[in-house]
Amino acid sequence: MNNKDLAKNVLDLVGGEQNISGLTHCATRLRFVLKDDNKADLKALDRLEGVLKAQNSGGQVQVVIGAKVDAVYSEVKNLTSDHIGELTESTDNGPKKRRNPVNVVLETIAGIFTPVLPALVGCGMIKCLATVITAMGYLEGSGFLTIINMIGDCIFYFMPFFLAVSAANRFKTNPYLAVALAAGLMHPTILNAAAQIAETGVNSIDFLGMPILLMKYSSSVIPIILAVWIMSYVYPIVNRVIPKFLQVLLTPMIVLFIMIPVELIVLGPVGSYIGDWLTNGINSLFSTAGVLAGAILGFFKPIMVMFGMHYAIMPIQVQQVATLGATVLLPTALAANLAQAGAAFGVFVLTKSKTMKSAAASSGFTALFGITEPAIYGVTLKYKRPFFAGCLAGGLVGGFYSLVHTTANAISLPGVLAIGTYTSDRYMYVVIGCIAAVVLGFVFTLLAGIKEDTDGNKSKQQATDKVNINQTAVATEATPASVSSQPSASSGMLIVSPMTGEIKPISEVKDQAFAQELMGKGIAIVPTDGKVYAPFDGVVEALYRTKHAIGLKAANGVEILIHIGVDTVSLKGKYFNAHIEQGQTIKAGDLLVDFDPEGITSAGYNTITSIVVTNMQQYGDVLTTATSGPIRESEPLIKLIP
C-alpha cells in the first residue's frame, strides 16, 4: 500500500476529516484529536497494512506509522486541503499546568509575528537596497527607484492585512473575516477622511450616536490584533445562536456588523494609543538613559532569543518605523548578533574538536548575517563562557550605538547585509560598532576560554574505544539478556549507552508501540542527568521539531531511534535543547540533546527513554547487556548479531 492509499484509509477509519479537530505527528505516529473518539475504528486501524499500532492515549488517537510518518502526514494534509488551517495546529489534551499570563502574551505575540517575518525581512532588505542606491546618487527620481521604494514600504503600509491572517491562525478564527476587519481599518473612507482633518476640521463620524475617530491605521499593529482576538470569541457565540440552515448567510454578516464598528469606535483608538505610548515611552527611555538602555538590551538580547522573547519587541519596532520612520531597538540587536558571531569565531580558535570547529565557523558566519540561533544553541551556550562573553560585547556596543544615536529605518535581519538601513551621528559609527562587536566578542571569548570536558564531546576517544571493545572481553560480562527468541553465538557490533540512568526492560515503557517492539527491538533507560550522547560515528537521520526523538544511522548501516519520554511530543520542545540538526555527521560522544528531567516530570510526563534498533530485520539477533541496573553513558548496552 502506498502512502497516499494509507493516508486515505487512515482518514476513513478515524471517522473522516469532518471528525478531526486537530492533527500533528511526532517521530513515529500520527496524533489525531477527534470530535468523537467513538467514530475511530482502532481494531481496523491496527489491522491496516502500514500501521504498526493504533491506540487512544492522552486524549488522542495515535496511529503508529514508523519511519515514513512524515510522508504519510504530508499525504493526509494533501487530502484535507480544505481544512488545512485546522489541521496544522495541534490541540493536544495531555497533562497541562497553569501557565504564566506573561508567557502566554509573549508566546502569542511571537506566534503572530513569526509567520510575517519573511515578508518583513524581504521588504526590509529591499528598503536597504533603495537606501544604498539613493546614498550613491544613482537613479534619483527614476521609476525604478520609485518602485523599489514602493516594494520596501508595502508591508508596512498594509501591515493590518498581514497581521489579520497571522492572528486569525493563532486565535483559530476565520481568516477571511479577519482580513475584512483589516479592510475596515484601511478603507479609504477612514484613511482619506483622516488625511483631510486639517482641511475639513472633521475628526470623527457619527455612528448611531457614537463617534468613530478618524485615524490613520496603515502600519498599525495593535488595533488589528485586538480586533481579531475579540472576534475569535464573538464568532462562535453568534454561530451558536443562529440556526444551522442560516449560519452561512447570517453569521458572517452579524459578526462584521458587530466587529467593524467595535474596532473603529473602541479597539482601533485604544490600540493606536497603546502603540503610541509604547513608541514614545521607548524613545523617552533612550533619550534620558540611552547608553544604559542600549547596553542592557544589547546584553540581554541573546538571552531573550533563548526564551523566544525577542519577538515580543517586534510590534514596538514596527510601530516605531511606521510612525517615526526609524527604530532605536534594532541597533542593539545588531550589536548582540555580531558579538555572538565573534564569540563563535573565538570558539573556533580555542576548540580542539574538528566537529566543533566546523560548527563554530559556519554558525559564526550565519550570525554575521543576523541568524544567531545556530551560534547560540550549537556553540557559545554549550561552553557558557563564550555566550556571556558575547553578551558583554553586545552590551558595550549597544551602549555605544545609543550614545551616537544609531537608528534603523527598516525592519530587517540585524546583520551586516542590512547596515545600509542604519543611520547615526556619523555613518562611520555604524561600521565601527559592527567591527567592535565582532572583535570584542572574539577577544572576550579568548580571554574567558572554554572547558573542553564540558562541551558534550568529552571522552570521545573513550567512547570510540568502547564501541570497538574486544568481543572476548564482552563475553566475560554477565550473559546478555536476549530481546529476541534465539540468541546467536556469532560476534557483531556493540552499541554503547547514549545516556546515564537506570536500565529497564522495553516492555515497561507505557507506550505499546515500544513495549510490543513494533518500532524495533531494544531497551529502555530512566535518565538521571538529562543528556543524550552519540553512541557511534554516523549521521543524524531525523531530528523532530519537538527535539524529543532522534533517528541515527551508524557508518556501518545500523539505525536506531532514541525516544525521550512518553507522549513528550505534547511539550512541543519545552525542556529540550538540541545540539545537532538533521543530516549532520556525528562522532561517538557528541552531545545530541539535553533536557530537563525534573521539568518534564513536573509537567506530568514520564522520562523513560526507549532506545531501539529500527532496522532489526537486517540482523540475526539483538541482545542487551542487562535488563536492569544502573548504566553510564558510553558503557556497552546493545549487541547486534549478524
Which residues have a catalytic role annotated? Answer: 26, 563
Among 530, 638, 533, residue whose Cα is nearest residue 589: 533
Classified as helix, coil or strand, 471 is: helix
Handedness of CA 398, 403, 409, 415 (dihedral sign): negative
Q: Are 506 and 517 in contact (CB under 8 A)?
A: yes
* Count of helix runs (H) and strand runs (E) in the chain: 25, 23
* Structure-derived torsion over alpha carbons of residues 256, 259, 261, 265, reported in degrees to the nearest 10: -160
Q: Are 267 and 226 in contact (CB under 8 A)?
A: yes
**C-beta atoms surrounding 524 within 10 Å:** 24
Cell of 468: 570497538
Across 472-565, the runs of DSSP E, i.e. the strands, are: 481-482, 494-496, 501-504, 521-527, 531-533, 538-543, 549-554, 559-564
Task: Name residue, grid cell 500533528.
Answer: 24
150: amino acid identity, one letter: M
Alpha helices (H) along 566-619: 597-602
Among 542, 555, 551, 614, residue whose Cα is nearest residue 587: 555
Among 127, 22, 27, 26, residue whose Cα is nearest residue 84: 22
- Sheet of strand 621-624: strand arrangement: 481-482, 621-624, 636-641, 494-496
Classified as helix, coil or strand, 210 is: strand
Alpha helices (H) along 566-629: 597-602
Task: Name residue, grid cell 577577544.
Answer: 443
CA distance 370 to 341: 9
* Structure-derived torsion over alpha carbons of residues 540, 546, 548, 551, reported in degrees to the nearest 10: -20
CA distance 167 to 175: 8
Residue 331 CA: distances (Å) to CA of 119, 179, 335, 410, 419: 20, 33, 6, 11, 9
Measured CA angle at 540 (ends 538, 541), to 5 deg: 110
**DSSP assignment string, 263-325:** IIIIIHHHHHHHHHHHHHHHHHHHHHHHHHHHHHHHHHHHHHHHTTGGGGGHHHHHHHHHHHS
CA distance 527 to 182: 51
Q: Are 44 and 29 in contact (CB under 8 A)?
A: no
**DSSP assignment string, 128-157:** HHHHHHHHTT-STT-HHHHHHHHHHHHHHH
Handedness of CA 512, 516, 520, 523 (dihedral sign): positive
